[in-house]
C-alpha cells in the first residue's frame, strides 16, 4: 500500500507549524526556528513572564550540587539557539572551552552576534550540527548541556545515546525542559496560560504556528519517570530530576556510565 501523504499544516498567518506525522517534520522545525530567531530571546522572556531568566542559572546551581567534582575543560551546548545558555555556561566555567551547536543557520548567526561582545567570547565557538548526528569523537566532552531541546527531537532515545557517546565516562548531561507541573491545580493554571495565552501572544507577532506548536510539543515529551528510564537506556547511571517553578520546568542531570557503550536491551521471557 502506498504511503499516504498528509497535506502540510499551515498556521493562519503562514508561519511554520511543524507536524510530527509529516515526514518533513525536522525540516519544518528548522524553518520554524529560522522564522522566530530574530525575536526568540525577547519573546521567551515575555511569554515566560521573566521566569526563563531564573531557570538557566538555577539549572547550573543544581549542576554544581550534582557533579562529583573534577575539571571541566570542554563543554558542548546542543540546540544552542541564540547562545543564551552557551554564554552563561562559559561564564560559569571560566577556564572551559564551550562549543555551541544548532541545526538552524539563523539561530547560529544570532548567537554569534550576541556573543561578539560577551565575556569569555574567545573560549566560545559555534557550529552547525544536529543532536541526532554529532560530528565529534567519542568522549570529547566533560559536560553536555541543552535547554528546551528535548521536546523537538523526533527520536529522543537516539539523541540521548548520541549525547552519551560524546561524553567521557563520568561526564555529565544537563537537560532543562518544560514539564508537567507537579500539582494538578498548578497544572490547570499552567495549561490555561501555556495552551491558550502563549499561542495568542505568538499570533500577535506573526508567529502563530511556532507558538501553537509549543504546547503540542510538551504533550509529546515523556513524563519524568519515563525520561529517567530513557536516560538509563542511553547509558547514564546516576540521575537526578530537579523541578523548578512547581514543576513547570525540570532540570534533568545524568552522569555518564562506564566506557560509553549503550547497554543492550534487556532480554525478556
User: Which residues fall within 8 angstroms of residue 172, CB to CB, at 6 or more apart?
Assistant: 63, 66, 67, 142, 143, 144, 253, 254, 255, 256
What is the model's pLDDT at position 1? 43
- pLDDT tens sequence across 31-52: 999 999 988 888 899 889 999 9
At how many degrees (to 10) do helices 84-92 and 105-115 cross?
Answer: 40
What is the model's pLDDT at position 13? 81
Of the two residues 258 and 238, the one the predictor is more confident about is 238
What is the model's pLDDT at position 6? 54
Q: Do the beta carbons of residue 174 and residue 203 sit within 8 Å?
A: no
Q: Is residue 222 classed exposed, middle or buried when 0-12, 13-18 and 19+ CB atoms within 10 A define those classes?
A: middle
| Stretch 1-25: mean pLDDT | 74
List domains and CATH numbers for the chain.
25-178+226-256 (3.40.50.150)
pLDDT band at 261 (very low <50, low <70, confident <90, very high): low
Whole-structure pTM value: 0.90
User: Which residues fall within 8 angstroms of residue 254, CB to CB, at 6 or more apart?
Assistant: 172, 173, 175, 231, 236, 237, 238, 239, 240
Find the Cα–Cα–Cα–Cα dihedral 210, 211, 216, 221, rounded to 10°. Answer: 80
| Stretch 177-199: mean pLDDT | 94
**Residue for grid cell 544552542:** 80
Amino acid at each position: 500500500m502506498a504511503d499516504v501523504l498528509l497535506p502540510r499544516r499551515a498556521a493562519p498567518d503562514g508561519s511554520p507549524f511543524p507536524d510530527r506525522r509529516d515526514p518533513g517534520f525536522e525540516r519544518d522545525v528548522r524553518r520554524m526556528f529560522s522564522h522566530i530567531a530574530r525575536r526568540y530571546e525577547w519573546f521567551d522572556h515575555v511569554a515566560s513572564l521573566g521566569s526563563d531568566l531564573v531557570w538557566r542559572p538555577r539549572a547550573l546551581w543544581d549542576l554544581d550540587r550534582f557533579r562529583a567534582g573534577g575539571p571541566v575543560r570542554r563543554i558542548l551546548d546542543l540546540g544552542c539557539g541564540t547562545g543564551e545558555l552557551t554564554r552563561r555556561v562559559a561564564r560559569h566555567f571560566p577556564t572551559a572551552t564551550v562549543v555551541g551547536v544548532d541545526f538552524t543557520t539563523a539561530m547560529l548567526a544570532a548567537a554569534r552576534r550576541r556573543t561578539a561582545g560577551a565575556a569569555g567570547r574567545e573560549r566560545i565557538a559555534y557550529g552547525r550540527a544536529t543532536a541526532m548526528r554529532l560530528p565529534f569523537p567519542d568522549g570529547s566532552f566533560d559536560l553536555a548541556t541543552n535547554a528546551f531541546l528535548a521536546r523537538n527531537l523526533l527520536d529522543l532515545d537516539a539523541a540521548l545515546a548520541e549525547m552519551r557517546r560524546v561524553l567521557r565516562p563520568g561526564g555529565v548531561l544537563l537537560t532543562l525542559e518544560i514539564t508537567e507541573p507537579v500539582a494538578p491545580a498548578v497544572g490547570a493554571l499552567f495549561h490555561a496560560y501555556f495552551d491558550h495565552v502563549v499561542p495568542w501572544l505568538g499570533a500577535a507577532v506573526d508567529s502563530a504556528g511556532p507558538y501553537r506548536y509549543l504546547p503540542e510539543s510538551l504533550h509529546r515529551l515523556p513524563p519524568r519517570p519515563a525520561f529517567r528510564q530513557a536516560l538509563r537506556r542511553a547509558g547514564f547511571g546516576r540521575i537526578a530530576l530537579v523541578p523548578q517553578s512547581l514543576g513547570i520546568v525540570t532540570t534533568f542531570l545524568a552522569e555518564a556510565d562506564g566506557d560509553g557503550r549503550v547497554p543492550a536491551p534487556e532480554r525478556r521471557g
